[in-house]
């Protein structure tokens, strides 16, 4: 008798969703510590149980499938739980930037149509002035963090009261449609009204696996939350770290001394952040060389070769990635090649500063001209980076016109100008809006910044274009020096002229104590230009 062959076809396929990642870890690593925050310890079994209770509580509060649930909460356990509890309840997570103003928070809440807002008690004063004026929010839930209690619970009710509405009745860790929206992340709005970037369950799931591969995470990993969870859902690492069964160490705010204390106490193996966050870590009190591997995955701005060299000397393993909110965070990785081991330190760091190649889950990245033709891979011709694939957003929420513009020609347009090298690696030269055109010549502000950072007494640098009667524009630099540094403006300009073409050097350098930054560590060049943030 012939063996029975089960039927095959789409009906037997499982829809991809990050929810399944916690279901597995709760089953496989139930007794293992999943989350650490201060004295709190939450096992994977407890993690899953609280997600179920929050999801049931949200359902009891009247949310329906597709409803948007907003969180204005720092990197606390409640924010991690939200990444699973909200979609488990059938909702869409809207994680709000904790550094926004009252009016900016109002805009995000009104535009997203959020029906429930969960807010950290210490951040409640941001919401309080408009709490009774929001268009769609029916309930405000306040989280009290024992590590940083607010002045009072304020309006609404407490997180504990929300939990009391829930139950332990199981919910399926599954979705009917993997292309449904799991979260909406709002762009910074530095060049216009913030746009709501929609992520799908499928995209978030696949991006999570790519994070695991490229940052070399394992069940033994200990991940420190230096990256805001509101930023691209923490580059999808709330789902990735959970899926591999590693340990999350929560961090309310980025402070160098606290970071080093947690690194040493918990034997941290991984963290993520922008180059400015990396600089904070390296310059913090208590900074020291490592006696074990610690992987820093960095993105948000091109890191300078100088920074990469310093990190390597301290014992950090660097994973340099690049992406945007519209690409779920990282889209490319500087894939390290073993033949670079034979190079000297400077040459190796220069190669590592490039943005690299598409990550394992992406369609291959392209650099194109205005007609969407690939530019030559000659390391000299400038073009725009375009992408498409599973980890490119499904569109801007309630903004079809902006979505159509972003995907002109069938590819997502990054707005980043780059070179394409013969080995296939891309290297960003600037944002299209930041390039300085002086006397008809394009000057990359990134290139000038890296030349400044190569000086041993320079801590950070930012370069913008300013008007020039003769040349139209010229570069101007803002520089933070090491404490007690003796270098002056003339000497620093001459240093730059030895590193790059002389005409690219700034004619003016303003020494400052700090640079304006977003909550994710990006330098706000529009503020340096005298424009509102």
Q: Is the dihedral of CA 455, 457, 463, 467 positive or negative?
A: negative
Task: Give the pLDDT confidence of 148-205 residue by residue, as tens digits.
Answer: 766 555 556 899 999 999 999 999 999 999 999 999 999 875 556 789 999 999 999 9
Rounded Cα–Cα distance for residues 465 and 475 (Å): 5
Rounded Cα–Cα distance for residues 1 and 128 (Å): 73
11 has pLDDT over 70: no
Element (H, E) at 329: strand 329-333
- Which range is least confidently modeled, 18-27, 89-98, 466-475, 506-515? 466-475
Closest listed residue to residue 22, CA positions, set 238, 221, 268, 270? 238
> In the chain, what are the domains?
15-167+178-199 (3.40.50.980), 254-431 (3.40.50.12780), 436-528 (3.30.300.30)
Rounded Cα–Cα distance for residues 511 and 386 (Å): 36
Task: Give the pLDDT confidence of 369-396 residue by residue, as tens digits.
Answer: 999 999 999 999 999 999 999 999 999 9
User: What pLDDT is stored for residue 275 in this prediction?
Assistant: 79
Average the pLDDT over 261-275 and give the result: 94
- Three-state DSSP class for 483? coil
Rounded Cα–Cα distance for residues 456 and 485 (Å): 9
CA dihedral 71, 240, 326, 14 (to 10 degrees): -100
451 has pLDDT over 60: yes
- CA-based max dimension of the chain: 90
Task: Give the pLDDT confidence of 308-366 residue by residue, as tens digits.
Answer: 888 888 889 989 999 999 999 999 999 999 999 999 988 998 899 899 999 999 998 99
Task: Give the pLDDT confidence of 39-82 residue by residue, as tens digits.
Answer: 999 999 999 999 999 999 999 999 999 999 999 999 999 999 99
User: What whole-number percentage of the chain has pLDDT above 70?
Assistant: 93
This prediction has a pTM of: 0.85
- Three-state DSSP class for 246? coil
User: What pLDDT is stored for residue 441 in this prediction?
Assistant: 66
User: What pLDDT is stored for residue 5 in this prediction?
Assistant: 54
User: What pLDDT is stored for residue 100 in this prediction?
Assistant: 87
Regarding predicted confidence, which is higher, 23 or 254?
A: 23
Mean pLDDT, all residues of the chain: 90
Q: What is the DSSP letter of 328?
A: T
Element (H, E) at 331: strand 329-333
Among 12-16, 323-327, 471-475, 528-532, the range of highest mean pLDDT: 323-327
Note whether 124 and 130 are within 8 A (CB): no
Pairing mode of beta strands 329-333, 316-324? antiparallel
Task: Give the pLDDT confidence of 394-408 residue by residue, as tens digits.
Answer: 999 999 999 999 999
- Which range is least confidently modeled, 112-121, 220-229, 359-368, 466-475? 466-475
User: What whole-number percentage of the chain has pLDDT above 90?
Assistant: 68
User: What pLDDT is stored for residue 533 in this prediction?
Assistant: 43
Average the pLDDT over 106-123 and give the result: 96
């Amino acid at each position: 008798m012939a063996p029975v062959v089960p039927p095959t076809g789409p009906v037997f396929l499982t829809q991809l969703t990050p929810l399944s990642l916690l279901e597995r870890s709760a089953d496989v690593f139930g007794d293992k510590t999943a989350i650490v925050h201060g004295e709190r310890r939450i096992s994977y079994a407890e993690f899953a149980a609280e997600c179920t209770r929050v999801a049931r509580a949200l359902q009891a509060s009247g949310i329906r499938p597709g409803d948007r649930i907003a969180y204005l909460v720092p990197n606390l356990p409640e924010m991690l739980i939200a990444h699973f509890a909200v979609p488990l309840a059938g909702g869409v997570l809207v994680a709000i930037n904790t550094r926004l103003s009252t009016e900016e928070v109002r805009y995000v809440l009104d535009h997203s149509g959020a029906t429930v807002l969960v807010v950290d008690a210490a951040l409640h004063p941001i919401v309080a002035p408009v709490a009774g004026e929001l268009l769609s929010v029916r309930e405000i839930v306040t989280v009290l963090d024992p590590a940083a209690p607010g002045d009072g619970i304020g309006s609404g009710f407490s997180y504990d009261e929300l939990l009391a509405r829930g139950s332990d009745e199981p919910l399926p860790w599954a979705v009917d449609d993997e292309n449904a929206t799991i979260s909406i992340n709002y762009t910074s709005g530095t060049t216009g009204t913030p746009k709501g970037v929609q992520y799908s369950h499928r995209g978030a799931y696949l991006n999570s696996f790519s994070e695991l591969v490229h940052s070399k995470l394992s069940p033994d990993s200990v991940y420190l939350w230096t990256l805001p969870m509101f930023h691209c859902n923490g580059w999808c690492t709330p789902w990735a770290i959970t899926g591999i069964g590693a340990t999350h160490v929560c961090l309310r705010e980025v402070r160098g001394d606290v970071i080093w204390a947690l690194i040493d106490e918990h034997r941290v193996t991984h963290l993520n952040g922008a180059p400015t966050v990396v600089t904070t870590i390296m310059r913090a009190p208590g900074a020291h060389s490592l006696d074990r591997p610690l992987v820093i995955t960095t993105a948000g701005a091109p890191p300078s070769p100088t920074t990469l060299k310093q990190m390597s000397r301290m014992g950090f393993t660097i994973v340099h990635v690049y992406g945007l909110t519209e690409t779920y965070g990282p889209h490319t990785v500087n894939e390290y090649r073993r033949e670079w081991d034979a190079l000297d330190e400077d040459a190796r760091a220069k190669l590592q500063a490039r943005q690299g190649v598409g990550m394992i889950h992406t369609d291959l990245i392209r650099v194109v001209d205005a007609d969407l033709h690939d530019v030559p891979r000659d390391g000299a011709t400038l073009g725009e980076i375009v992408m498409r694939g599973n980890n490119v957003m499904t569109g801007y929420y309630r903004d079809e016109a902006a979505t159509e513009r972003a995907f002109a020609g069938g590819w997502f347009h990054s707005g980043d100008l780059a070179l394409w090298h013969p080995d296939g690696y891309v290297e960003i030269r600037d944002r299209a809006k930041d390039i300085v055109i002086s006397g008809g010549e394009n000057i990359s502000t990134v290139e000038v910044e890296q030349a400044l950072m190569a000086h041993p007494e320079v801590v950070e640098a930012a370069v913008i274009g300013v008007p020039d009667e003769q040349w139209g524009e010229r570069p101007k630099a803002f520089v933070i020096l090491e404490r007690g540094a003796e270098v002056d403006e003339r000497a620093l300009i001459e240093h730059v002229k030895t590193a790059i073409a002389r005409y690219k050097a700034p004619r003016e350098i303003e020494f400052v104590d700090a640079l304006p930054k977003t909550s994710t560590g990006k330098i706000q060049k529009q503020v340096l230009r005298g424009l509102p943030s």
